[in-house]
Structure 1
Amino acid sequence: MWYRLGKFILKFRLALLVLLLVATAVMAFFARKIQMSYEFSRAIPTDNIKYRDYQSFLKRFGSDGNTVVLGIASDSFFTPAIFAAAEKMHQQLKQVKGVEAILDAPEAVNLVRDTVADKLVPTRIFATGALNQQQLDSGRRLLESLPFYKGLLYNPATHAYLFAVTVNKDTANSKSRSRLINDIMKPVQSFATATNLQVHVSGLPYIRTTVADRLQKELKWFLIGSLVLSAITLLLFFRSVSAMLMSLAVVCIGVVWSIGTMVLLGYKITLLTTLIPPLVVVIGVPNCIYFLNKYHTSYKDTGDKNAALITMVGRMGVVTLFCNIAAAIGLGVFALTKSNLLSEFGVIAGLNIMLLFVISLIFIPPVLSYLPVPKPREMKYLDNRMLERMLLRIETWTFKHTKWVYTVTIALVLLALSGMFKLKAEGFIVDDLPKGDVLYTDLKWFESNFGGLMPLEILVDTKKRNGLFRSLKPIEKIDSFSRYVAGRPEVARPLSLMEGIKFVWQGVNDGDSAYYAIPSEFEAPILKKYLKTGAKDSSSNNKQAAAMNKLLASFMDSAKQVARISVNMKDVGTVRLPVILHEFDSVAKQTFDTAHYNVTFTGSSVTYLEGSVFIINGLRDSVLWGFGLIALCMLYLFRSFRILLCSLIPNIIPLMITAGVMGWTGIALKPSTVLVFSVALGIAIDVTIRFLVNYKQELPNYKNDVKETLVQTIHHTGVSIVYTSLVLIAGFIIFCVSSFGSTKALGWLTSLTLIVGTFTNLILLPVLIWLFRRKK
C-alpha cells in the first residue's frame, strides 16, 4: 500500500504541491486573526465546586486580585518634597485609563462628626496643594491615630508606605492590560527619579501581565532559535542547503497550520498553547530526517532517484505515521481532561502533529523529485566512522555483555526509585521566577512589610436577608474570626465590614482610637443611625463620602445577608495553603453555628491551588492514558506481546530516571514539570518505533534470523536515530536559557529524558529483543 502511495504522490506531485500551498495560504489568512486569552481560572472544570464558589463570589462582589500595589520605604516620606511627589504621582495615576480607585496616604480620609447635621463627614487628612513641614507632621499624627490605616497603608516599624491602585478587571483581562501597566509605571518611574527612592511594584494584575508579556516574547525568540538551530544541525548533517530549506519549509507550514487551526476551532492562544509552535518545529524536523535518511540510503544502494523516492515512502511512511501517532497521543491525551486549558492544548497539539505527517508526506517526496540527485558529500554522514564504531560497540554489548547491560539498567532504576520517593508536589504563584528577579523580590518585600498580596476571600452567609444586622451576634462572630485570622503569620490584616464599622464608631466618638471597636448592644442603635446617614451621602456630590460608602458596601451583598472578609496572604505554596485553609475552616466551624451560618473560602489563592492540583492530577492521568493508547498502537503494529513488552520498557525507564533526578535535585512536581513526562513520552517512543519497524521489515529478508536482523537494524537505523535524537535534544535544550522555571524545566528535563531514551532504545531494546526471542 505504501509503495503504491509513493507512486501516486510522485505521479500527481505538482497538483499535490499546489493544493498544499493553497491550503497553507488559507491557513495563513486565518492565522492572522489569532487572539490572546487573558483568563487565568480556566484550568479548573466549570463543574468544580471551587470554580462555582469563585464565580458566585465574582457575581456578588465583582472581583478580587485587581489591585496593583506600589510600595516605598523611607523615614522621610512626610517631608514636603517627597510627599508632594507622592501627591503628584497620585494625581497622574488617577488620569490613567483603566484605573478606578487609589488608596494611599496623600488622599486618606478621616470621619469627622458634624454635630450640627449629626452625621459623619469624610474629610481629607492632608489638604491639597503645597504643604509645609508643620502641616505634614500634624497630618501624620492624625493618620497614625487611626488604626484603620495601620498595616493597610503604612508599617510604622519599617517606615514602609503602600499605594493601592485598583484597576478595571475587564481591562486587566484584555489585550489592553500591557498598555494599562505601562501607563501606571510611567508616573511611578517619574516619582522614583524625582525622589531617588526605590518603588516596589506588585499585585496579581502586574505579576500576571509582566510574566505573560515576558513569556510571549521569550517563546517568539525560542521559535526563531529552534528554527535557526534546526537549520544549522541539518546543514551539518546533510551538507545540503536544499535539504535544510526543504525541512524548514515543512516545519514553517506546520507552524502556520497550528495557528490557523486554533482560529478555526475558536480557540485563543493561552500560555500553554504558545508552546505548540516551537513543539511543531522540534517534532517536525525528525520527520524530515527519517525521510531524507531513507532516501539517501536507497539512492546509495540503487542509484535510481525515482525508485529511491518510492522506497522512501514505502519503507518510511508507516514508520513516520506511527511516530507521529505516538507523539500525537502523548500530547493529545490532554483533550480527555475536563480542564479547558489542558483540553485545548491537547486538541491543537494532537491534531497538528498528525497534520505534520500529512504535510511531510505531500511536500517532501515531490520537492525531492524536482531537486538534483544527492551529491556524495550530502550522503557522507552515512559513513561516519566514529558513529559506526559506536554502533559496533552497541552490537557487542547486545550479544556479549548483556549481563552488564542488565546490571547497569537495574542499578539506574533502583537509584531512580529512591529519588522518586523524594518527589513532592508543590507549587507557588511566582515559583517560575528566579529568586533574584525583581518580580520575586518585590513580592517578598510586600510580604515582609504588609503581610502578603495573594487574595483569599472568606464569605460568611447568615442565610437570612438582612441577617448581618438583625442583632450584634453576626458582627461579633465575624470580628472574632477576623481577629483569629489576623493573628496568623501567613496573612496580612483582614479587611471586612467590621473594620469599616470600627472606623465609623471611632468617628462617632470624635476620633478617639479607644473606640476603634465593635459597639455594644446598647450602643448599636446609635451606630445604625450614622450608617444610614452615610448611605444617603453616597448619592450626594461628596466624592469622598461616596468612596467611603462604596468601600463599606463592597464588604457585604445588597441583601445584607453575606459578609466578605478579604485577606491578603503570603505565597505559601500548594503544600502549606491546604493546611492553613483546613485550620481556618476548623476555627470557622467553632465560631459560626453551621445551622445558621455558611462559611466559604474562595478567591484567587484557592482557585490557583485547585487549578494546580487539578492540572497535576490531569497530567498524571494523561501520562497513564498515553501509555495505554501507545501500547495499543504498538500491539496493533507488531501483533506481539513480546515486542510490546520490549517496546515499553526502554521508554518507562527514561521517565523513571527523570523523575528520580527531580527527586534527588529537589525539583517539585507542578504543572510545568509534570508536562515534561507527556511531551517526552510522545517523542521518545518515536525511536522505538523506528527501530522495531525496521526490525520487522528486515526479519523476513534474513530468514527470521533474529541475530542477523538485529545487527542490520542497529547499523541501519542507528545513524538516523542518533541524528534525530541530537536534533530533538538541541531543539529542547534551547529552552534552558529561559528566565522562567517552567520553560527551563521543559528544556533540560525533556532533553535528559530524550538522551536516556536514545541509549535505552539503542542498547537495552536490542538486548530485550534478543532475550525474548523465540528459540527453536
Structure 2
Amino acid sequence: MWKSLAVAILRFKYVLFALLLGLTAFFGWHASKVRLGYEFARAIPTDNPKYLAYERFKKVFGESGGLMVIGVQTDHFFDAGFFNDYVQLQRDLKKIKGMEGVLSVPAAVDLKRAEESERLQALPIFRDTVLSQAQIDSGKAIFLGLPFYKGLLYNPETKSWLMAVTTNNELFNSTERTAVIDSVLKVTDAFEAKHKVDLRMSGLPLIRTILSDRIKNEMRYFLIGSVLLSALILLLFFRSFSAMLLSLAVVGIGVVWSVGFLQLMGYKLSILTALIPPLIVVIGIPNCIYFLNKFHTSYRETGDKRAAMIDMVSKMGIVTLFCNITAAIGFAVFGLTRSAILKEFGIVAGTKSMLPPPKPRHMLYLNNQRLQRWLGRLESWSLNHRKVIFGVTAVVLVISVIGILQLKSVGYIVDDVPKKDKIYTDLKFFEQNFGGVMPLEIVIDTKKKYGVTRNLQNLIKIDSLVQYLDSRPYIGRPLTLTEGLKFAKQAFFEGDSSFYIMPGENDLLALKPYLSQNNDSAANRGGNAGKGFTKLVSSFMDKDRQEARISVTMQDVGSEQLPFILDSIQTRAEQIFNRDSIEALTASAAEKAEHKDDSTWGKR
C-alpha cells in the first residue's frame, strides 16, 4: 500500500505540487484575515447551570461595565495641592474614551433631607472646582462622618484612598482597549511624577489588557525563537542550507494552513490557539528530519533518487503518520487540526521529489563518526542490557506517577505574573486594604412579588448576610439595598452617623415618601446633582421587587479555595433564608468555581 502510494505521488508530483501551492495560497489569504480575540474566554459550556444562571442575572439586573480601581496611600490626601490635583486626575480620566463613570472621594455625595418636598437630595460634598484648604477641610469632616464610604473609598487604618472607574465593556472587548489603557497610564504617570507617590492600579479591564498584550508579544517571540532554534539544529545536523530551508518551508506551510483554518472555522486567536504556530514548528521539524535522513540513507545505498524516495515513503510514511496521530490526539482538546499538515507525508515527499538528487556533501553527516558511535552505543544498550533499561524505566515511571499524584491544579488571575511585578503587587495592595477587586454577585430570591420591600424580616436577613460577608477577610465591602437604606436613615436623622443602622418598621414608614420614585424623578428633573438616590437603591432589586442582589469584590483566592468559599456563603445563606431562596452568581467567580481544575480560567 505504502509503496503504491509513493509511486502515485511521484507520478502526479506536478499536480500535487500545484495543488499544494493553490491550497497554501488559499489558506494564506484566510490567515491574513485572522484576528485576535478580546472577549472573555467562555470557560464553561453554555448549557451549564452556572452559565444559564449568570445569563439570567444579566437579563434581570443588566450588565454593568468593568471596574478599574486606582489607589493611593498617603497622609496628605486632603492637603489642598494634592486634593485639587486628584480632582483634576478624576476629570482627565473621565475624558478618556471608554471611561463611563468615576466614583471617588471628590465625587462623593451626601444625602440631605428636604422637608418641604419630602425627598432626599444627593448633594456633592466637594464642589467641582479648585478648592481652598478651608473648603477641603469642611468637606473632609462631612465625608468622614458618612460610614457608607468607609471601606469602600477609603481605609482609615492604612490611610488608603480608592478611585473606582467603570469602563465600557464593548470597547474593552476590542482592539481599542490597549490605547485606552495607555491613555490612562499616561495620566496616572504624570500624577505620580508630580507628587512622588505610587498610584496602585488594578481591576479586570486593566489586568486583561496588560496580560493579553504581554502574551501576544511572548507568542511572537516564541514563534520566532522556535523557528531560529529549529533552523540552527537542522543546520548543525544536516550541514546543508538546502535541507534546512526545505524543512522550514514545509513547516511554514503547516503554520499557514493552521492559522488559515482558524479563520475558516470562525475562531479568533486566543491564549490557547496562539500556541498552534509554535507547536506546528516544534512538532514538524522532527518529521522533516525523519524523512530527510531516511531519504539520504536510501540514496547512499541505491544511488537512485526515485528508488530512495519510494523507500522513504514506504518505510517512514506509516511511522510518521502514527507519530502525528498520537500528537494530534494529544492536542485534540484544541478542536483544531493543527497537526494535520504534519501527517501529510505524501505532500512532503511530493515536494522533495522535484529537487535534484542530493550531492555527496549533503550526506556528509551520515559519516559523522561521533554520531555513529553514539548510535552504536544506544543500539548495543537496547539489545544487550534490557533488564537494566526496563528497571531504570520502571523506577522513573514510579517516581513520575508519585509526582503526578502530588500535583495540584490551582489557577489565579495573575498566577503567571512574577511576585515583584506591578500587576501582582498592586492587586495585593487592594486585597490588603479593600478586600480585593474580583467581582462577586449574590442574588436573594424571596419567591414573592414585592417580597424584598414589603417584608422587614427579609431586609433584616439580607443585612445579616451582608454582615457575614463583611466579616470575611477575603471579601471587600458589600453593597446592597440595605446599605442604601442605612444611608437614607442617617440622612433622615440630620446626618448623625450613629443612625447608620438598619431601619426598623417605623423608620421605613417614615422614609417611604422620601424613597418615592416620583419624588426622586422630580429631583432629577430639577437638576439634583448625581443620579437619583432611589434609582441607585433600586438597581439592587429586580423590577418586581422579588429579588435582591449583593455586590461585593473579593480577593484572587484561586480556583482551589473559591468553591469552598462559595459553599460557605451558601451554607450561611441557607441558615438565614430558606434553602431554595438564595443563589450565588458572578461573572468570574462562579465560573471559576466550576473550573477549579482548569488552570487557565480568567486569562485572556
TM-score, normalization by structure 2: 0.95
Alpha-carbon displacement from aligned partner over 1:621-643 (angstroms, at most 9, x marks no partner):
xxxxxxxxxxxxxxxxxxxxxxx
Q: Secondary structure at the match of 2:358?
A: coil
| AA partner of residue 139 (structure 1) | G
**Matches for 1:355-754 after TM superposition, within 5 Å:** 355-358=341-344, 360-362=345-347, 364-532=348-516, 535-537=520-522, 539-540=524-525, 542=527, 544-546=529-531, 548-594=533-579, 597-613=581-597, 615=598, 670-671=599-600
Change (3 A) 1:232 1:540: same
In the alignment, which residue of structure 2 is the partner of 1:124?
A: 124
Alpha-carbon distance in 1 for matches of 2:323, 2:397: 26
Alpha-carbon distance in 2 for matches of 1:538, 1:70: 31
Alpha-carbon distance in 1 for matches of 2:358, 2:176: 52
Q: Return the offset for 1:569.
A: 0.9
Residues 112 and 123, structure 1, Cα contact 8 Å, conserved in 2: yes
Alpha-carbon distance in 2 for matches of 1:205, 1:543: 31
Alpha-carbon distance in 2 for matches of 1:410, 1:7: 43
Alpha-carbon distance in 2 for matches of 1:185, 1:63: 26
Alpha-carbon distance in 2 for matches of 1:423, 1:611: 16
Give the length in aligned residue pairs: 603
Residues 50 and 606, structure 1, Cα contact 8 Å, conserved in 2: yes
Alpha-carbon distance in 1 for matches of 2:483, 2:76: 29
Change (3 A) 1:244 1:10: same
Alpha-carbon distance in 1 for matches of 2:192, 2:504: 47
Q: Secondary structure at the match of 1:555?
A: coil
In the alignment, which residue of structure 2 is the partner of 1:724?
A: none
Q: Secondary structure at the match of 2:506?
A: coil
In the alignment, which residue of structure 2 is the partner of 1:354?
A: 340
Alpha-carbon distance in 1 for matches of 2:514, 2:528: 18
Change (3 A) 1:58 1:494: same
Residues 85 and 194, structure 1, Cα contact 8 Å, conserved in 2: no
Alpha-carbon distance in 1 for matches of 2:590, 2:380: 57
Alpha-carbon displacement from aligned partner over 1:88-134 (angstroms, at most 9, x marks no partner):
11111111222111100111111112233332111111112211212
In the alignment, which residue of structure 2 is the partner of 1:57?
A: 57
Residues 121 and 523, structure 2, Cα contact 8 Å, conserved in 1: no
In the alignment, which residue of structure 2 is the partner of 1:317?
A: 317
In the alignment, which residue of structure 1 is the partner of 2:284?
A: 284
Alpha-carbon distance in 1 for matches of 2:287, 2:155: 61
Q: Return the offset for 1:433.
A: 1.2
Q: Percent identity?
A: 47
Matched, 1:247 2:247: yes
Q: Return the offset for 1:480.
A: 0.7
| AA partner of residue 377 (structure 1) | R
**Unaligned ranges ≥5, structure 1:** 335-344, 616-669, 673-741, 744-776
Q: Secondary structure at the match of 2:101?
A: strand
Alpha-carbon distance in 1 for matches of 2:338, 2:298: 29
Alpha-carbon displacement from aligned partner over 1:141-172 (angstroms, at most 9, x marks no partner):
21111001111111111111111000112222
Q: Return the offset for 1:187.
A: 1.9
In the alignment, which residue of structure 1 is the partner of 2:3?
A: 3
Change (3 A) 1:148 1:569: same
**Unaligned ranges ≥5, structure 2:** none
Alpha-carbon distance in 1 for matches of 2:384, 2:5: 42
Change (3 A) 1:61 1:543: farther
Q: Return the offset for 1:671.
A: 4.7
Alpha-carbon distance in 1 for matches of 2:527, 2:285: 67
Alpha-carbon distance in 1 for matches of 2:357, 2:180: 57
Alpha-carbon distance in 1 for matches of 2:401, 2:112: 68
The alignment yields a C-alpha RMSD, in angstroms, of: 2.1
Matched, 1:145 2:145: yes
| AA partner of residue 479 (structure 2) | L
| AA partner of residue 588 (structure 1) | A
Matched, 1:99 2:99: yes
Residues 573 and 582, structure 2, Cα contact 8 Å, conserved in 1: no
In the alignment, which residue of structure 2 is the partner of 1:685?
A: none
Alpha-carbon distance in 2 for matches of 1:217, 1:383: 42
Residues 65 and 205, structure 1, Cα contact 8 Å, conserved in 2: no
Alpha-carbon distance in 1 for matches of 2:170, 2:252: 35
Deviates more, 1:469-478 or 1:364-373: 364-373
Q: Return the offset for 1:386.
A: 2.8
Residues 463 and 598, structure 1, Cα contact 8 Å, conserved in 2: no
Residues 480 and 549, structure 2, Cα contact 8 Å, conserved in 1: yes
Residues 516 and 534, structure 2, Cα contact 8 Å, conserved in 1: no
Residues 65 and 203, structure 1, Cα contact 8 Å, conserved in 2: no
**Matches for 1:322-333 after TM superposition, within 5 Å:** 322-332=322-332
Alpha-carbon distance in 1 for matches of 2:127, 2:473: 36
Q: Return the offset for 1:177.
A: 2.2
Alpha-carbon displacement from aligned partner over 1:379-436 (angstroms, at most 9, x marks no partner):
2222333333333333333343333223323332333343334222322221121111
Q: Return the offset for 1:296.
A: 0.5
Residues 299 and 308, structure 1, Cα contact 8 Å, conserved in 2: yes
Change (3 A) 1:392 1:244: closer
Alpha-carbon distance in 2 for matches of 1:436, 1:272: 26
Residues 61 and 557, structure 1, Cα contact 8 Å, conserved in 2: yes
Q: Secondary structure at the match of 1:162?
A: strand
Alpha-carbon distance in 2 for matches of 1:477, 1:41: 36
Alpha-carbon displacement from aligned partner over 1:470-501 (angstroms, at most 9, x marks no partner):
12111111001100110111111111111111
| AA partner of residue 570 (structure 2) | D
| AA partner of residue 61 (structure 1) | F
In the alignment, which residue of structure 2 is the partner of 1:195?
A: 195
Change (3 A) 1:447 1:88: same
Q: Return the offset for 1:64.
A: 5.7
Q: Return the offset for 1:373.
A: 2.6
Change (3 A) 1:513 1:266: same
Q: Return the offset for 1:216.
A: 1.1
